[in-house]
Chains A and B, each alone.
Chain A
Amino acid sequence: GAVVSQHPSRVICKSGTSVKIECRSLDFQATTMFWYRQFPKKSLMLMATSNEGSKATYEQGVEKDKFLINHASLTLSTLTVTSAHPEDSSFYICSPSQGSGTEAFFGQGTRLTVV
C-alpha cells in the first residue's frame, strides 16, 4: 500500500495557541486530501476535503476559519487548528487520495490535547 506520513503523532498545546499538523504522501501524488477527526467514543467524522491548489470544502458544522487547510502540493497538506480550545481536543487523521474511485490511504493520526 501507499506510504503516508502524518506528524506530530501527539501534541499538547495551551488554549489560544495554534497547532499545525502535516500529512505527506511519500510515494504517490495526492490530488485530493480528506481530513477526519474522532472524538472519544464517536465515529471518525469527515471535516473537510481539499483538492491540490484549490480551497478546501468543509463539512457542515466545521469552522473553516478555525481549521485552516493548505494543500499546495501533491505530496503535502497541512491542517492548522487556530486559537485552539479544549473542545478541539481530538484525534485527527489525514487521508490522501489519488482521486475519486481509488483506494483510501491514511496517516497515523494526531492526538491533540488542548489544556
Chain B
Amino acid sequence: GDSVTQMEGPVTLSEEAFLTINCTYTATGYPSLFWYVQYPGEGLQLLLKATKADDKGSNKGFEATYRKETTSFHLEKGSVQVSDSAVYFCALSFPGTASKLTFGTGTRLQVTL
C-alpha cells in the first residue's frame, strides 16, 4: 500500500541554521505531496504542496520539490527561526481524494536561540 517515510526527530537547530527534513514515499500512481505543520496546541495546517513531478511548493521560507525519480519531497528552509518550532508531517493523496491523506510519522523541530 501507499506509505510515507520521514526522518525521525527530534531535530534541534540553532536559530538561522539550515533545515532539511527528509521525506520519501511509496505509492502506485502519481500522488500529490504535502507538508503539514502543527504548532503547539493547534491543529495541522497545510504548509505547502506539489501536485506533479518537478513542482516546487513554497511558503513562509520553506520549500520542497517533488522528485519522482527518487520518490522524495524533502522539506528545506535556509534560516530557521524559533517560531518554526513545531511538528512537521509529510503526506500524500491522490486526485479526487485530496482530503484523505497518508501521513508520515511527523518530525519534531526545536529551534533554539
* Co-complex (A, B): yes
Q: Which residues in A have some Cβ–Cβ distance to B below 8 Å?
A: 1, 4, 6, 9, 32, 34, 36, 38, 41-46, 49, 93, 95, 97, 99-109
24 inter-chain pairs at a CB distance below 8 angstroms, sorted by A residue, are A34-B100, A34-B101, A42-B105, A44-B89, A44-B101, A44-B103, A45-B103, A49-B100, A93-B43, A95-B101, A99-B99, A100-B97, A100-B98, A101-B95, A101-B96, A101-B97, A101-B99, A102-B98, A103-B46, A104-B46, A104-B98, A106-B38, A108-B42, A108-B43
Structural contact, A46 and B4, CB atoms closer than 8 A: no
- B22–chain A nearest beta-carbon distance, Å: 15
Given A100-B96, A103-B98, A104-B46: A36 touches B103 (CB 8 Å cut-off): yes
Chain B interface size band reads 20 to 34
Beta-carbon nearest neighbor of A98 in chain B: B99
Task: Name the A residues within 8 Å of B4 (CB-CB).
Answer: 43
Structural contact, B43 and A106, CB atoms closer than 8 A: yes
Task: Name the A residues within 8 Å of B99 (CB-CB).
Answer: 32, 34, 95, 97, 99-104
